[in-house]
Structure 1
Amino acid sequence: MSRAAPMALLVAALIALAIAAVGLGSTPIPPERVIAALLGWGERTDQIVVWNLRLPRVALAACAGAALALSGALLQRTTRNPLASPSILGITDGAALGVLVFLFAFSDEANLLQVPVVWQPLFAAGGAALFALAVTLLAGRDRGDPMRLILYGVTLAALAHAAVVLMMIVGPVYRSGQALVWLAGAVHQAEWRDAAIVAAALMAALPLLVRLAGPLDQLRLDGASAFATGLPVEAVRATALVLSVALAAAAVSVAGGIGFVGLVAPHAARLLFGSAAARELPAAALLGAGMVLGADLLVRAAFQPIEVPAGAVTALIGAPYFLFLLTRMGRLNA
């Protein structure tokens, strides 16, 4: 079997999952009618339901999952730490805090924004960048020790989460309710503009990801060896880190704090497709999209008509895996 065949199977599985997700709802739509509506055929009612009500949710789940998975893959490559991910290093919580500041500062009593929504991802990016910089500076004092990097990240993530909780307690009820969407990591209120924000970030990142594939493979060497091969190590690391923060911020700004996708998806991609960046990055993106899309499909099927956040499922999957990695690294370092 060629190397392209497993990737094609993964794409096919993701498409099948998306069709199933579009068909699920208060009025189920069979797969053949979903496909007809997507192609502009079939009944007018099906087309309205599919394109206006269900497809934005599916698109946002897939795009957010892909962005978080790529962010995690870049972080793990940059830090050479298998435990690194946006949620564990405080980037997700920092982005969520930025969104909360934006909502509290610029929404009125009717939960209507008084400024263009395009500013929301910028505030998310600012919060994510602030916490990423703090973790990087703190870890730099300990020469990038992997375990200390994780400890600093977890501590700063807890600090950001505490700030968010405090804002919800002291703030008006209407704004607290609005903020819960981002804290839960849910996609059920998705609109096309939300999916477009993350899709635009992914498209903007694509050329850089292609150019970084080779240098990211060189980063698997230690710093001195990578530099000896002619790689501008610090420039590559800085570019990958900025790209990782931007992707995580874009996802969190509209989909909320969906945790552990950036940890699990890159590991699964390396297990299935190897460690070459040219294969790992697209595989991680597809697996991350499938994780969030599958989690949202699961909670919709299990708890309908109650809207349960997809982030609850990804946390149930990712948290035990994180503990497994943490204990294994602890034994290796003992």
Structure 2
Amino acid sequence: MSLVAGASRPAAILERGGKFAILALVLAALAIASIGFGSSAMSVGRVLLAVVGEGQRTDTVIVWSLRMPRMLMAALCGAALALAGFALQRATRNALAAPSVLGIVDGAALGVMVFLLLFSNESNALIVSILWQPLAAASGALLFALTVVLLAVRTGAPPLRVILYGVALGALAKAGVTLFMIDGPVHRASQAAVWLAGSVHQARWSDLSTLAGALALLVPLAFLLTRRMDQLELDEQSAAATGLPVRATQLMLFALATCLTAAAVSFAGAIGFVGLVAPHAARLLVGGRAFGQAVAAALLGAAMVTAADLVVRLAFAPLEVPAGAVTAVIGAPYFLFILLRAGRVHA
């Protein structure tokens, strides 16, 4: 029996490794397609030559000035949202948990609306640089997440009630956003609508450097916490018996998810359902321990947003349709599927 188990373990590792390789190849193919397709399409050969700086001058300018920042922004934001959702699902032991349930995304949206309200003149033009908008979004996200955490700490609430606090505060933020959009000028409302749907078409290298710097700190921390995530799969008493500080670990994961989400939505807007779908799909695809699932979730999240941005560029050119519209079309039915499946399990 032990020989069979010993033989099956390497086979399982190889199988998971193959799945990771497939996910990485899919992401690489989507990245090349994202760079190659646009108002002037490029072949794979032209894309690769431009990437290494050996292509025609026009191709190199198009790739490095316009398409590469957009593709990288989509991939990084998708990975960040997926890891945030994965951390929340592990912290709450709930497959329905996602960044939006903590009110983080809605808080960011309210921050953007307040920014547009305070810093627009009578002609609806911004009186400060648009570069301040990501800071406003991050501030709103962190403020609402901090409020949820303070409520949870003060009341000693279990993870499920923490989610309910987030839903309630998110609804409050949504109401504020709606009021600002109705009461404000049309120009301001249209600006906010694009951000609320989630889009990466205005990505700049300066934005990417800021986002990459934040993720360079947050992503390694997420993987360092995967061992604790595995322990959280046990019930609270069993997890505590293994020496895990359960409440402290849950708060750490909530804080990590908040920072990852704030970093992503600050630059890409409120791209929805990635933090729900990618971690759940990763669990179904690779199973096993949290580390492997986190890797798969990050790859799937990056692929989802990259593919969504590619779809809207091809389907609606020359219009700039937000990528979040595609993730919502995919994610909403998947969310209903999870709900119905959970209902059948508990019936």
Structure-1 residue corresponding to 2:136: 123
Q: Write out per-residue CA displacement over residues 36-83 of structure 1, whole angstroms, 9 at most, x where no aligned residue.
A: 000010100000000001111111111111111011000001111110
**Matching residue's letter, 1:160:** A
| Residue 317 (structure 2) pairs with residue 304 (structure 1) | yes
C-alpha RMSD of the superposition: 2.4
Structure-2 residue corresponding to 1:220: 233
Structure-2 residue corresponding to 1:55: 68
Measure how far apart 1:21 and its partner are.
0.7
Measure how far apart 1:328 and its partner are.
3.0
1:89 to 1:178, Cα distance in 2 relative to 1, 3 A? same
Tell me, yes or no, if the aligned pair for 2:124 and 2:185 is still in contact at 8 Å: no
Q: Write out per-residue CA displacement over residues 226-251 of structure 1, whole angstroms, 9 at most, x where no aligned residue.
A: 11111122222111111100111111
SS in 2 for 1:4: helix
Measure how far apart 1:122 and its partner are.
4.2
Kindly report which structure 2 residues correspond to 1:11-30, keeping only aligned pairs within 5 A, or say none: 11-30=24-43
| Residue 172 (structure 2) pairs with residue 159 (structure 1) | yes
Tell me, yes or no, if the aligned pair for 2:91 and 2:159 is still in contact at 8 Å: no
Q: Distance in 2 between matches of 1:245 and 1:331?
A: 31
Kindly report which structure 2 residues correspond to 1:96-107, keeping only aligned pairs within 5 A, or say none: 96-107=109-120
| Residue 42 (structure 2) pairs with residue 32 (structure 1) | no
**Matching residue's letter, 1:270:** R
Find 1:259's aligned residue among 261, 266, 272: 272
Tell me, yes or no, if the aligned pair for 1:78 and 1:237 is still in contact at 8 Å: yes
Q: Distance in 2 between matches of 1:142 and 1:313?
A: 38
**Matching residue's letter, 2:241:** A
Structure-2 residue corresponding to 1:320: 333
Find 2:196's aligned residue among 183, 188, 211: 183
1:31 to 1:53, Cα distance in 2 relative to 1, 3 A? same
Structure-2 residue corresponding to 1:250: 263
Identity of aligned pairs, percent? 58
| Residue 33 (structure 2) pairs with residue 7 (structure 1) | no
Structure-1 residue corresponding to 2:298: 285
- TM-score after normalising by structure 2: 0.87
1:111 to 1:314, Cα distance in 2 relative to 1, 3 A? same
Structure-2 residue corresponding to 1:71: 84
Q: Distance in 2 between matches of 1:244 and 1:181?
A: 24
Measure how far apart 1:142 and its partner are.
9.4
Find 2:182's aligned residue among 169, 176, 182: 169
Structure-2 residue corresponding to 1:94: 107
SS in 2 for 1:81: coil
Structure-2 residue corresponding to 1:114: 128
Structure-2 residue corresponding to 1:144: 158
1:8 to 1:111, Cα distance in 2 relative to 1, 3 A? farther
Measure how far apart 1:12 and its partner are.
1.7
| Residue 215 (structure 2) pairs with residue 202 (structure 1) | yes
1:329 to 1:150, Cα distance in 2 relative to 1, 3 A? farther
Q: Distance in 1 between matches of 2:310 and 2:71?
A: 9
**Matching residue's letter, 1:299:** V
**Matching residue's letter, 1:157:** G
Q: Distance in 2 between matches of 1:103 and 1:282?
A: 37
Tell me, yes or no, if the aligned pair for 1:120 and 1:253 is still in contact at 8 Å: yes
**Is there any run of 5+ residues in structure 2 with no aligned partner, and where?**
1-10
Find 2:251's aligned residue among 229, 238, 245: 238
Q: Distance in 1 between matches of 2:345 and 2:111?
A: 37
Q: Distance in 2 between matches of 1:188 and 1:45?
A: 20
1:113 to 1:326, Cα distance in 2 relative to 1, 3 A? farther
Q: Distance in 2 between matches of 1:274 and 1:301?
A: 34
Q: Distance in 2 between matches of 1:122 and 1:304?
A: 30
Tell me, yes or no, if the aligned pair for 1:261 and 1:314 is still in contact at 8 Å: yes
Equivalenced residues, count: 332
**Is there any run of 5+ residues in structure 1 with no aligned partner, and where?**
none
Between structure 1 and structure 2, the one with the greater Rg is 2
Q: Distance in 2 between matches of 1:144 and 1:281?
A: 24
1:316 to 1:139, Cα distance in 2 relative to 1, 3 A? farther
Find 1:80's aligned residue among 93, 105, 116: 93
